[in-house]
Homo-oligomer: A and B are copies of this chain.
Amino acid sequence: MVAAQPIPVAIYGIGPIGAEITKLILTKPWLELVSAVDIDTAKIGRDIGDLIGSHKVGVAVTPEITNKPTVICHSTGSRLRDVEGQLKALLGARSHVVSTCEELSFPLDHQIRERLEQTARAANVALLGTGVNPGFVMDKLPLTLTAVCQQIESVTIVRIQNASTRREPLQRKVGAGMTVDEFRAAVDAGKIKHMGLRESLMLVGSGLGIEFNSVSDEKIEPIVAKREVVTQYLKVAPGQVAGVHQTIDGKGRINVSLELQMYVGAEDVAADRVIVKGVPDLELVIKGGVHGDRATAAMVVNAIPRVIAAHPGVLTMDDIPVSFR
């Protein structure tokens, strides 16, 4: 049920995802935006509604949190080491934090995890890393599906996203329009990599109650266009790169493999798929797949009441139930 008083929330970081989260917050009567933070001096002082192309809200962007929100939606970076300081400061001021930081979805750096855990517990608040991927389609959804299994041999998770429907930076980020050589150089330079695939794998393993005997390296390969692909932002010739094919797997009592394909021109094959070999066998398909940016904003906002209700500390998506709110 909807709370009688709206929950005071803040947005921390107003990039493309932060703006999408903010727009969604403004549609929810059970939330009240009380603070909007960004370090960009071009944004500071502006009304957050104007900034994101919505109606005027009466909340100006500030460089620090104001009005002590109950929950802060954090969206500034993908790497734990880049956001640890921000998260500790926000938690230390006794706000819950829901973050899109991919590495936070299942913190693999145990020292950072422990420091965040101590800060959150001392302040009696919770911290969650979530999104659509990592956060849902390749971890939370497969884990939830496995609840009807008596025994499991393997879990195969395949996400094929049509990058043609995504924003330009994402199309560039998957390498669309590059030559294969350019793509490989960009991979070697760390410029082409979907963040969070390893975290999703480890979250699935943890949720299933297993420890993998071995975990593969992440393989990042080009998907080469067989035909010309034209999007709103770019053109890919046959033989050029259409996008990225990234995989990782863990072997153990249960084998888990994750395969992510993000490329332009994937209209006909885009889908999210989970295949469980076990008792019973299961095959789940989401036709067309869950769209990335919109779903990430939704997941962050929908997680808010669940994070408030959870125990203090560093949470993963395996610690909370979720639904639309």
Residues of B within 8 A of A209 (CB): 1-2, 30, 324-325
Contact A323 B24 (CB under 8 A): no
Q: A230 CA to B133 CA in the complex, in Å?
A: 45
Contact B149 A324 (CB under 8 A): yes
In the complex where A2-B209, A209-B1, A280-B294 touch, is A323 in contact with B147 (Cβ < 8 A)? yes
Residues of B within 8 A of A279 (CB): 294, 298
A318 interface residue (CB < 8 Å to B): yes
Q: Per DSSP, are chain A's interface residues mostly helix, strand or loop, or mixed?
A: mixed
195-211 of chain A: CB within 8 A of chain B? 206-209, 211
A54 interface residue (CB < 8 Å to B): no
Contact A150 B294 (CB under 8 A): yes
- Return the CB mask of A120-133 against B: 1 if under 8 Å, else 0: 00000000000010
- Return the CB mask of A287-325 against B: 1 if under 8 Å, else 0: 110110011011101110000000000000111111111
The stretch of A82-90, A136-144, A243-251 in contact with B is A136-144
Q: A27 CA to B302 CA in the complex, in Å?
A: 37
Closest partner residue, chain B, to A297 (CB atom): B150
Number of interface residues of A (CB under 8 A): 54
In the complex where A146-B323, A319-B321, A321-B320 touch, is A291 in contact with B280 (Cβ < 8 A)? yes
In the complex where A208-B323, A284-B284, A287-B285 touch, is A136 in contact with B141 (Cβ < 8 A)? no
Q: A279 CA to B301 CA in the complex, in Å?
A: 14
Residues of B within 8 A of A303 (CB): 147
A216 interface residue (CB < 8 Å to B): no
**Given A150-B297, A208-B325, A318-B323; 6 other pairs, CB 8 A cutoff:** A136-B147, A136-B148, A147-B298, A147-B303, A148-B290, A150-B298
